[in-house]
Structure 1
Amino acid sequence: MGRDTTRPTLAVLVALIAAGAATAEAERPNIVFIMSDDHAYQAISAYDGSLNQTPNLDRLAAEGVRFDRCYVTDSICSPSRACILTGKYGHRNGVTNNYTKFDGGQVTFPKLLQRAGYQTAMIGKWHLGSDPTGFDHWDILPGQGKYYRPDFRTADGQRAVDGYVTDVTTDLAVRWLTEQRATDKPFLLMMHHKAPHRPWDPAPDKLAAYRGREFPQPATFDDDYQGRASAARLAEMRIEQMRPSPDLKIWDDDDRHRRWLYKHMSDAARAKWEQEIDPRWEQWAGGNDPRVGDPPLQKRRWMWELYLQDYLACVDSVDESVGRVLATLEEQGLADNTIVVYTSDQGFYLGEHGWFDKRLMYEQSLRTPLLIRWPAASSVEAGRVEKQIVSNVDFAATFLDVAGADVPDAVQGRSFLPMLSGQTPPDWREDLYYHYREGPERDHAVARHEGVTNGRLKLIHYYETSEWELFDLEADPHEVRSVYDTPAYAERQTRMHHRLGELRKELGVPDPTPNGPVALGQ
């Protein structure tokens, strides 16, 4: 009897199964997770618009969802990154300050995506001490990284790359998308920028972008820190406490940081800096700008303006990077089925309360931008604004949910994927627990504290000095008047105390003061 040619051969069946599997893999959404460092939501025009314009980030908001209450669990770089990777608070993942090496042996969402069939890549700022794990490809900045001629490190070693760090990071990410990724798998690409982290060194073509610009002064710029706990008054992050060099680029020709920075630049870049930045020294030392002289508040405002000019110029480069990635996804035919997420590792003060930096649980530090676009999901209403509280502790669960992968029970965050379609998951949180542990003996002398917020009320406990703050964000959106121990708030204060205790128990937070309160600095 002859062979039945109407039935597929084994080889054909294998090919069909393989093709079907490849199709299924390809249909799962890709994830591009873009994170900057210290990018304040105030410096994204989709949120505000009074300081700068960010057209590419605004495009993510216009074509996707803007989250207005994305809160971090700890407003500092390494703990935030560890929280994002693991979906756990710092007391569970082991990173509670910027000086602890991340244990790469623990479960992370990139590892789980790998097991689910995703190709994974990490490019840019890592800042966790240990080598990345869970990635098929990684190319990272060692430590904080440099703005000019940055070093990048892979498993094979370290090399310096000519250029500006935001551009170089984007170049590497685009190269991975176009030349190095496997085309038969869905992928996770994490592109993490150094910018706009201190000392806010702009690209050569951005140095004059905000020169002469008048910025609206924050309502709390001249905060006197009265009516609150001592932490606000003692924090060393006031505008006038910035370093002339390198923070404000006020230097003479012999300045050590100037020599170091210029050494890493091309001749053309250095010429731009000499033209645009070096004259600041003459203004500072020679008193050729009236704002440098008396009274001191004029000088302080001048310092703030220089800070914003440089900070926002760095943001401009990040925004252009986002535009390049979006264009690459379109050119590669990947845009529709790729979820693009933009966030920062925390918020940042841009003169609010007279500060720069972050750490304290006030809104500008606690809130981080979050923009998510997913064109293929027809249920996502473009331009929608989400008001529910989400957190960076939720990112891991959300990314796993996107991939159809199981979320381990140990993960403390929850997936907010349904929110992209305007649906609130059942029993979604109404408040969030926060804990800053690095302490006043480290950078900026910020007191350790924990707290809880529901978006309306915020209770903060500075447990080493036994001080409390309670803010009513509706009545006092600028957080300048604590109503703790105010009779009118007695019932609400009790409720917030109770909720803080519940969350500490629910999250398994160890008692931060087993031996009772101690003085600042001990």
Structure 2
Amino acid sequence: MYRFLFCISLSIWMLGSCSEESKETQRPNILYIMTDDHTQQAIYAYGHGLLDSTYFPNMDRLAKEGALFRNSFVTNSICAPSRAVLLTGKYSHINGKMDNVVPFNWDQPMYPKLLQAAGYETALIGKIHLAGKPQGYNFSLTLPGQGNYYHPEFIRNGEVEEKYEGHSEALIPQFVIDWLENDWDRSKPFAVNYHPKAPHRNWMPEQRYLDLYEDREFDFPDTFFDDHQGRGLAAKQQAMSIVDDMYWGWDMKFDKNPFTGEPSRLPAPFGRMTEEELDAWEKVYAPANEKLFGDGTPGERPLRERPDRERQAKFMYNRYLRDYLKVVKSVDDGIGRVLDYLEKEGLLDNTVVIYTSDQGFYLGEHGWYDKRFMYEPSLSTPLLVRYPKEIKPGTEVQQMVLNLDHAPTILDYAGVPIPEDMQGMSWRQPAAGQKIPWRDAMYYHYYEYPGPHDVKRHYGVRTDRFKLIHFYHDIDEWEMYDLETDPREMNNLYGNPAYAQVQEMLHQKLIELRAQYGDSDELTQQFISQ
């Protein structure tokens, strides 16, 4: 009898031990959160001082409880190509998605397909901006193209388009939670691509946040009135100026051009709203519009009759920045909802949570909005990672990390072999504080010209201190910057005798990186001729 009871007790202990061992060695879940056009300047943890930590607490939570990457960059600062780089772990000239126009080949190898084959349940929810039926996912619910903020359509599993009532930034996190709650096979680890639409143009806030920040006047960035004299033609000939190139309808939320009375080039995007929503917008935006273009102070002519570029710039900059931050607030709320759900379900600490954006964005630096250039505000992108099993709270990673690296890193966390033809590196060890050999420079290439915003084609190299850029196609110009002495990139040093050795070093590094990643003028010419 004693022996029987002992055997039963031993069996129970062994089962418990095996259970605990399985729990300790189980593969982590992956939650990859990618916003659209978010930028480091709009995250308190990056120290830019635009807002304090109370505005976006969930993003700051990720930074406090995990790792903040100080040098996170993209290889091609534009939406669809950046997403193709994420999926494939390969540069644009290799994966074929060089700009927003050329088709993306979903048939090629991608990290979600490898996760699926390794037993992960995969889902893609939100914006992907790559036409065609998504592959590598057990479930997808995606916005068509850019999608809409209000009452958007979503495409289910690449086939059926469905319209939903509500705001995109409230719907998308709820869809993530719904999939985890109702459809995820809990016998398998999950890998979810959670992709908000925001803060992509045209920044349409939720009704509850319409008056958020309306009492806040933001100071111009130091370079807002930059005349671009320190750079070449590319910086001068772009069409990214907040004052000159934003639309009174689409961006500033006016029905017509207040100077001419003519309908805006793109009408104010209110057609999808209910009467209640329109009334709420009118109460917030109409008084501010009238204050700018009405009679003004007694005895002063209205702005439309008295050119005042600085007054106009102040209004347009603040309207843009407020709306941008309002939709970021909704993104932060959504992240909080998903994190809270994972925590409630006991899943959070076994989930690698990655927060990033498809590229950076200009918030008035050089007077601009949008992205595309290899200059720092659009080259850099946020990267915050939480995984307490390996990453200590408050970690800062200094290594130069690219969006090219995310696919191999996710595979590394999942225990899936990284294909040799992936061109990125896993940042798992640097995030855990381990020192391993790492890159000392990065390569960049932007292709979409002629195209929106008129940013010239260019490629270049960035080290920890210096940057070399070559603008080509219909011009042939070089720019070089010392980021230590000139972090705002106002003074082009190319051809400066004092920097001759640096210039030679950067040219050599550029040649080496182009060879390493298989890029060439011949490949570029093939793309141009398509």
Match of 1:456 in 2: 465
Match of 2:99 in 1: 97
344-353 or 22-31, larger mean C-alpha shift = 22-31
Deviations 1:287-346 (A, max 9, x none): 538777532122112111110010010111001111111101011110110011100000
Displacement of 1:210 in angstroms is 1.1
Secondary structure at the counterpart of residue 515 of structure 2: helix
2:323 maps to 1:313: no
Displacement of 1:270 in angstroms is 2.3
Match of 1:228 in 2: 231
Match of 1:177 in 2: 180
Displacement of 1:390 in angstroms is 0.2
Match of 1:373 in 2: 386
2:466 maps to 1:474: no
> Unaligned stretches of 5+ in structure 2?
1-5
Secondary structure at the counterpart of residue 324 of structure 2: helix
Change (3 A) 1:26 1:192: farther
Residue type at the aligned position of 2:248: P
Displacement of 1:515 in angstroms is 7.7
Map 1:215-364; keep pairs closer than 5 Å. Answer: 215-240=218-243, 241-251=245-255, 261-288=269-296, 293-364=306-377
Equivalents in 2 of 1:166, 1:422: separation in Å?
34
Displacement of 1:269 in angstroms is 2.3
Secondary structure at the counterpart of residue 270 of structure 2: helix
274-283 or 118-127, larger mean C-alpha shift = 274-283
Query: Are the counterparts in 1 of residues 203 and 324 from structure 2 also a CA contact under 8 Å?
Result: yes
Match of 1:496 in 2: 506
Secondary structure at the counterpart of residue 44 of structure 2: coil
Match of 1:109 in 2: 111
Equivalents in 1 of 2:186, 2:24: separation in Å?
10
Change (3 A) 1:119 1:25: farther
Deviations 1:253-302 (A, max 9, x none): 99689988434223432221121123344345435387775321221121
Equivalents in 2 of 1:249, 1:209: separation in Å?
16
Residue type at the aligned position of 2:27: R
Secondary structure at the counterpart of residue 131 of structure 2: coil
Equivalents in 1 of 2:477, 2:523: separation in Å?
13
385-394 or 210-219, larger mean C-alpha shift = 210-219
Map 1:72-221; keep pairs closer than 5 Å. Answer: 72-155=74-157, 156-221=159-224
Secondary structure at the counterpart of residue 46 of structure 2: coil
Residue type at the aligned position of 1:232: A
Equivalents in 2 of 1:163, 1:99: separation in Å?
29
Equivalents in 2 of 1:202, 1:512: separation in Å?
45
Displacement of 1:227 in angstroms is 2.5
Change (3 A) 1:346 1:59: same
Equivalents in 2 of 1:85, 1:366: separation in Å?
19
Displacement of 1:467 in angstroms is 0.3
Q: How many residues align?
A: 505
Change (3 A) 1:489 1:257: closer
Secondary structure at the counterpart of residue 336 of structure 1: helix
Secondary structure at the counterpart of residue 177 of structure 2: helix
Residue type at the aligned position of 2:431: L
Match of 1:3 in 2: none
Secondary structure at the counterpart of residue 32 of structure 1: strand
2:403 maps to 1:392: yes
Displacement of 1:411 in angstroms is 0.3
Query: Are the counterparts in 2 of residues 26 and 186 from structure 1 also a CA contact under 8 Å?
Result: no
Equivalents in 1 of 2:66, 2:333: separation in Å?
18
2:67 maps to 1:65: yes
Deviations 1:85-114 (A, max 9, x none): 000000000000001221010011100011
Query: Are the counterparts in 1 of residues 254 and 268 from structure 2 also a CA contact under 8 Å?
Result: no
TM-score by structure 2 length? 0.90
Displacement of 1:416 in angstroms is 0.7
Match of 2:34 in 1: 35
Displacement of 1:68 in angstroms is 1.1
2:496 maps to 1:483: no
Q: Cα RMSD (Å) of the superposition?
A: 2.8
| % identity of equivalent residues | 44
Equivalents in 2 of 1:43, 1:183: separation in Å?
36
Equivalents in 2 of 1:291, 1:55: separation in Å?
39
Residue type at the aligned position of 2:388: P
Work out which of the residue numbers 55, 58, 71 in structure 2 matches 1:56.
58
Secondary structure at the counterpart of residue 521 of structure 2: coil
